[in-house]
Amino acid sequence: MMSNLSDERVSQTSIATRMLRRPELGALIGAFVIFSLFWGFDTTGNFAALGGTAGWTDIAAPIGIIAVFVSLLMIGGEFDLSTGVMVGTSGLLAGMLVTEYGLNMWVAIPIVLLFAAAVGFINGMIVVRTGLPSFIVTLATFFVLRGANLAVTKSLTGTVRVSGIEEAEGFDSAHAIFASRLMVGTSSFQISILWWIAITILATWLLSRTQFGNWIFASGGDKNAARNAGVPVDRTKVTLFIMTSLASAFVGIMFVLRLQGMQAGQGVGMEFFYIIAAAVGGTLLMGGAGSAIGASIGAAIMGIADIGIPYALWDQDWRWTFIGVILLAAVLVNTFIGNRAKGAKR
Amino acid sequence: MSFKKLAVLAGVAALTLSGCAAAADDTASEATSSTEETTAAATTEELKDIKICVYTHGDGGTFWSVAQMGAEDAGKDLGITVDYQGSINDSAKQASTIDAGIAAGCNGIAASAPDAGAIEQAMLAVSAAGIPTVTMNSGSDVFKDLGAFTHVGQDEIVAGREAGYKFNDAGMTNILCPIQEAANSGLTDRCAGARETSTGTVSDFNLDGGLADLTAASAKIKAALEADPTIDAVFALNADIAAKAVLPAVQDLGRDIMIGTVDMSEDALNAIAAGDIAFAIDQQQYAQGYMSVVLLYLNVTNAHSLGGGLPIYTGPGFVDASNVAQVQALVAAGSR
Amino acid sequence: MSIALELKKAGKAFGSVIALQDVSVKVRQGSVTCILGDNGAGKSTLIKTLSGVHKPSSGSYEVEGAEVSFGSPRDALAAGIATVYQDLATIPLMSVWRNFFLGNEITKGWGILRRLDVKKMKELTKQQLMEMGIDLRDTNQQIGTLSGGERQAVAIARAVYFGAKVLILDEPTSALGVRQSGIVLKYVLAAKDRGVSVVFITHNPHHAYLVGDYFYLLNRGQLANEFERKHVELDELTKAMAGGAELDALTAEIQQVRNVS
């Protein structure tokens, strides 16, 4: 019988410290602090009520839906900078299919999703086959799509926006499912919030309760060790890229239905907010650890700030400063935790 | 207790206390003012309670900051609260902001409508909640569909037509019209308006993204001018484009090309004073901001719906060598 | 004694670089076979050949008497040959139980509802580690918080649990201190006790001598020497590693130079 050889230098972690180490708990505390801050400065009296909640969840939902999958991809060790512009591309594509080609909305939607999946597949394949940093590969995709959004829209419609979607067949039913409103008391909530919650639950389950989720952690933590253990790293990464593109397309479809059209520039610039939401929620920029639910909390924080700032009658330019500060704080905390876990002992 | 935990607790405590203090402050001032209440006229507190919200697609640049100043000055002059938000060309964000205006306690909402379909549902929801609305800056032909009682701004086609006349007066035959924001139909409308009245040809030119990189824009314009030596005028649609992209290109080439522009900036006005730029169309965006607030204020306090179902125009006004001196001082102050 | 693995006159060339030449190594069933050599001796190429990363350019590779040709490490893994690399054994940010079952996750349910059986995996991990002598209170902790020796031990326990018949360890003690090395060496013997054949690659003859039954010395891609434990002493092994006859000649030369000056 072997004697107990546990190292007396390994300290036993207290329950409180262990809980604080869970990335999403840190983010949740941060969200409460920020919520309290804006509650204190609220001039309308509605911030902490249904009305205000309807407002910030409306902003947070489309960010959260994409940020959740962006965080999965980041945990898997990669970045996708083409997410923002893909929202525009999908909305424009759906709009053009129904207005220029007279397709039913319900035929256009699967076509758009298929297109997005193909773009995600290409992103993934280039990254795993060439070994180039995903930052660069998806940046290239970003530019390709950005140009295409303008050029194709202009050549097909003569303008740089798609409008008149509401005339299309299938618009009403699609709108009801993806872009309608639900009354709660006297406040109207967007249905996108329900989608956001469902998708967050799905992604969380996928990450922590499935074999694929284990592979995501491994591929991001150390792809060589993962390969040696038999994990199909390439296949995992390509699948993750497909997921981020699909999530972006989903939001694009939601938007084109709500806005009854779309401008060619929609979505550009949002790609960094998804990454920030994921980072604020506890996903490490270096990969290997993170949380899908944390990304949703990060998105919630952004929504709270976007509504809290005007409700406090502050100049909205402070929004940028705010985002910068929370990003820095979140990354510092994450790095601190990551370092303690990784290399403290040899 | 670890430093991290202590810091978090301290932060929460401080913020909660400051929140309570802020709330206490409000109730205190309300208490004192109610004792001074007069019977008929609205007190300062009641006026401050009126909140007019101006939610645009603006980007905070030289043009929109003037519109914002107009709106906020109106708020100060009337003693009411004004909330200005610009969505930086993001229609989804603008729609969400307008939707949130109901719970934000807006008594009236003014919105710019470059893409009416995008904010239609939000605007109608606001109207359904009993809040009066106007459109401003863009949307002169759609304001009724959005439930607004009038529009404050400049009709882009009208502006273009007037510019066309100006170019005719100077005998111009081939006018280049660079469009610096591909997604902005207002800009295309200006070129179209000029085309209607011009006796020569007016050609649209794609200069998308021009404001983000003026040096590159200048090079593109120079190339376009070189490619067609018969171009004798350029109708720029933005003051920075005119002064920092078109003018340098024209000066480089040394050709005699007439430059007219839309909107003003310090540089553009200096160029007019120096004779390098012929005219600037002033859509008087300060007044767009100011009047939006006034119109809604009058509706909220005295049930006025001005405009008679038609748009109220703030332009086109023309600034040329004859009146540039007056205007320059005001532009330098940021209010024109 | 039966042979678990055998390389017969194996050679490996990369273009014009000959990494291995005419190397014959027998790994006997249930023994600890040490491959010794300095840096550049070809140990890395040898280990990659055994673990399926490379195919030998000449000679043959036999597993339990039958010739094999592995296309990838996964093929070797399927044949029961598990390799534990020095730096790449475990993933620091993942928990111990996730590392333990990586690639071999236990699931319950089927179709779209197939999910991890977390409870079972945590229990098994705790139990298996206990059997190897590691007592972890919480298998949920990130494996990076364990000491280097313990991480190696988890990797070894993992390989043994998943039915490795041959365990190849690539320099497991090279980056560890004395105490930690001791831990790893004890696990090597524990694995041997469970009937696993161990191939132990190292450049440390002391460590090798503590656990090894057979020793092969590699030098510049070729087999310089082979010993059986019962026929060799530690200092003879050390000297052979340091250069043997070459070292004697060099020592004499240097001493002459020092005496003169």
Identify all chain A residues contacting C135, using CB atoms and an 8 Å cutoff. 4-6
Structure tokens at B247: 């003018």
Q: How many folded domains does chain A comprise?
A: 1
Side chain identity at residue B304, one-letter code: H
Q: Which residues on neighbouring strands pair with residue B174, listed in sequence order?
A: B201
Nearest residue of B to residue A147 by CA position? B208
Distance CA B205, CA B213 (A): 16
Domains of chain B, with CATH numbers?
Answer: 45-154+285-305 (3.40.50.2300), 156-282+322-328 (3.40.50.2300)
CB contact under 8 A, C138 and A13: yes
The whole-angstrom distance between residue B293's C-alpha and the CA centroid of its chain comes to 13
Quick one: average pLDDT of B186-197? 91
pLDDT at position B1: 43
* Domain contains A96: yes
Side chain identity at residue A180, one-letter code: S
* Domain contains A72: yes
pLDDT at position B9: 54
Tell me how far apart the terminal alpha carbons of chain A are, to the nearest angstrom.
26
Whether residue C73 is preceded by a cis peptide bond, meaning omega within 30 degrees of 0, is: no
Enclosing H/E stretch for C132: none
Q: A240: pLDDT confidence band, cut at 50, 70 and 90?
A: very high
The whole-angstrom distance between residue B79's C-alpha and the CA centroid of its chain comes to 22
Tell me, letter by letter, the H, E, C secondary structure of chain B.
CCHHHHHHHHHHHHHHHHHHHHHHHHHHHHHHHHHCCCCCCCCHHHHHHCEEEEEECCCCCHHHHHHHHHHHHHHHHHCCEEEEEECCCCHHHHHHHHHHCCCCCCCEEEECCCCHHHHHHHHHHHHHCCCCEEEECCCCCCCCCCCCCCEEECCHHHHHHHHHHHHHHCCCCEEEEEECCCCCHHHHHHHHHHHHHCCCEEEEEECCCCCCCHHHHHHHHHHHHHHCCCCCEEECCCHHHHHHHHHHHHHHHCCCCEEEEECCCHHHHHHHHHCCCCEEEECCHHHHHHHHHHHHHHHHHHCCCCCCCCCEECCCEEEECCCHHHHHHHHHCCCC
Lowest-confidence segment of A88-97, B133-142, C236-245 by average pLDDT: C236-245
Is 70 exceeded by the pLDDT of residue B30? no
pLDDT at position C10: 86
Quick one: average pLDDT of B118-126? 95
Distance CA B90, CA A50 (A): 25
Which of B8, B117, B208 shows the shortest C-beta gap to A150? Answer: B208
Lowest-confidence segment of A18-27, B275-284, B292-301, C143-152 by average pLDDT: A18-27
Quick one: average pLDDT of C127-156? 83
Chain C touched by A226 (CB under 8 Å):
yes
In this predicted model, which residue has the larger pLDDT, B204 or C240?
B204
pLDDT at position B37: 44
The set of residues, in sequence order, having a beta carbon less than 8 Å from that of A308 and lying 6+ positions away, is A34, A35, A37, A38, A41, A42, A47, A56
pLDDT at position A12: 52
Chain C touched by A346 (CB under 8 Å):
yes
Residue pLDDT, tens place only, C8-59: 888 888 888 888 888 888 888 989 999 988 777 788 888 888 888 888 888 8
pLDDT at position B152: 95
Single pTM value for the model:
0.82
Chain C touched by A130 (CB under 8 Å):
no
In this predicted model, which residue has the larger pLDDT, A168 or C203?
A168
Q: Cβ distance C191 to C161 under 8 Å?
A: no
Lowest-confidence segment of A176-190, B82-96, C59-73 by average pLDDT: C59-73
Q: How many residues does chain B have?
A: 336
Select from B54, B96, B109, B126 the residue whose CB has the most chain A CBs within 10 Å, as the one to mutate to test that interface: B96
In this predicted model, which residue has the larger pLDDT, A6 or C129?
C129
Lowest-confidence segment of A94-108, B96-110, B218-232, C211-225 by average pLDDT: C211-225
Chains A and B touch, contact meaning at least 3 pairs of CB atoms under 8 angstroms apart: yes
pLDDT at position A15: 60
pLDDT at position A217: 96
pLDDT at position B136: 95
Residue pLDDT, tens place only, A320-335: 898 888 888 877 776 6
Is 80 exceeded by the pLDDT of residue B210? yes
pLDDT at position A177: 95
Identify all chain A residues contacting C147, using CB atoms and an 8 Å cutoff. 7, 9-10, 345-346
Is 70 exceeded by the pLDDT of residue C77? yes
Range of the domain at A306: 24-333
Nearest alpha-carbon partner for B305 in B187, B148, B199, B165: B148
Chain A touched by C146 (CB under 8 Å):
yes
Which superfamily is assigned to C3-93+147-260 in CATH? P-loop containing nucleotide triphosphate hydrolases (3.40.50.300)
Quick one: average pLDDT of C206-231? 86
Lowest-confidence segment of A31-40, B42-51, B103-112 by average pLDDT: B42-51
pLDDT at position A224: 85
Quick one: average pLDDT of C201-206? 86
Residue pLDDT, tens place only, B280-326: 998 889 999 999 999 999 999 999 999 999 999 998 889 999 989 88
Lowest-confidence segment of A5-14, A31-40, A281-290 by average pLDDT: A5-14
Q: Which residues on neighbouring strands pair with residue B52, listed in sequence order?
A: B82, B108
Q: A156: pLDDT confidence band, cut at 50, 70 and 90?
A: confident
% of chain A surpassing 70 pLDDT: 90
Q: Cβ distance B260 to B279 under 8 Å?
A: yes
Is 60 exceeded by the pLDDT of residue A4? no
Top-ranked range on mean pLDDT: pick from A102-111, A262-271, C193-202, C223-232: A102-111
DSSP reduced 3-state for C111: helix
pLDDT at position A18: 60
Give chain A's mean pLDDT. Answer: 88
Structure tokens at B164: 């066309």
The set of residues, in sequence order, having a beta carbon less than 8 Å from that of C236 and lying 6+ positions away, is C227
Residue pLDDT, tens place only, B92-120: 999 999 999 999 999 999 999 988 899 99
Quick one: average pLDDT of A248-276? 93
pLDDT at position A16: 57
Tokens 């891609």 belong to residue: C221
Which of C133, C137, C190 shows the shortest C-beta gap to A12? Answer: C137
* Domain contains A344: no
Structure tokens at A214: 């284990």
Q: Cβ distance A66 to A247 under 8 Å?
A: yes
Is 90 exceeded by the pLDDT of residue A275? yes
Q: B40: pLDDT confidence band, cut at 50, 70 and 90?
A: very low
Residue pLDDT, tens place only, C89-104: 789 889 999 999 998 8
Give long-range contacts, CB 8 A cutoff, 24+ apart: A314-317.
A314/A41, A316/B84, A316/B85, A316/B86, A317/B60
* Domain contains A232: yes
Distance CA A182, CA A57 (A): 13
Is 60 exceeded by the pLDDT of residue A191? yes
Q: A138: pLDDT confidence band, cut at 50, 70 and 90?
A: very high
Structure tokens at A134: 């995903």
Give chain C's mean pLDDT. Answer: 85
pLDDT at position B20: 42
Distances (CA, A) of A139 to A85, A88, A217, A248, B210: 10, 15, 24, 15, 21
Give chain B's mean pLDDT. Answer: 85
Is 90 exceeded by the pLDDT of residue B212? no
- In eight-state DSSP terms, residue A210 is S
Q: B6: pLDDT confidence band, cut at 50, 70 and 90?
A: low
Q: Cβ distance C136 to C96 under 8 Å?
A: yes
Identify all chain A residues contacting B185, using CB atoms and an 8 Å cutoff. 159, 161
Side chain identity at residue B111, one-letter code: A
CB contact under 8 A, A40 and B60: no
Structure tokens at B283: 């859509």
Is 90 exceeded by the pLDDT of residue B68? yes
Report the CATH number that the domain containing residue A34 is assigned in CATH.
Answer: 1.10.3470
Chain C touched by A337 (CB under 8 Å):
no
Distance CA A302, CA A276 (A): 10
Task: Give backbone dihedrals phi and psi of B313, rounded to 5 degrees, phi first.
Answer: -90, 135
Residue C222 to chain A, least CA–CA distance (Å): 27
pLDDT at position A346: 33
- In eight-state DSSP terms, residue C93 is T
Residue pLDDT, tens place only, B228-267: 999 999 999 998 899 999 999 999 998 899 999 998 888 8
The whole-angstrom distance between residue B179's C-alpha and the CA centroid of its chain comes to 17
Nearest alpha-carbon partner for B73 in B308, B334, B317: B334
Is 50 exceeded by the pLDDT of residue A22? yes
pLDDT at position B32: 42
Task: Give backbone dihedrals phi and psi of A181, rounded to 5 degrees, phi first.
Answer: -120, 150
pLDDT at position B33: 41
Quick one: average pLDDT of B128-136? 95
% of chain A surpassing 90 pLDDT: 66
In this predicted model, which residue has the larger pLDDT, C173 or A62?
A62
Q: Which residues on neighbouring strands pair with residue C33, listed in sequence order?
A: C199, C214
Distances (CA, A) of C116 to A207, C105, C110: 10, 7, 11
User: Is beta strand C81-84 parallel, antiparallel or unpaired with respect to C166-170?
Assistant: parallel
pLDDT at position B102: 93
pLDDT at position A164: 87
Nearest residue of A to residue B120 by CA position? A259
Residue ranges covered by each domain of chain C = 3-93+147-260, 94-141
Tokens 């759609």 belong to residue: B142
* Domain contains A3: no
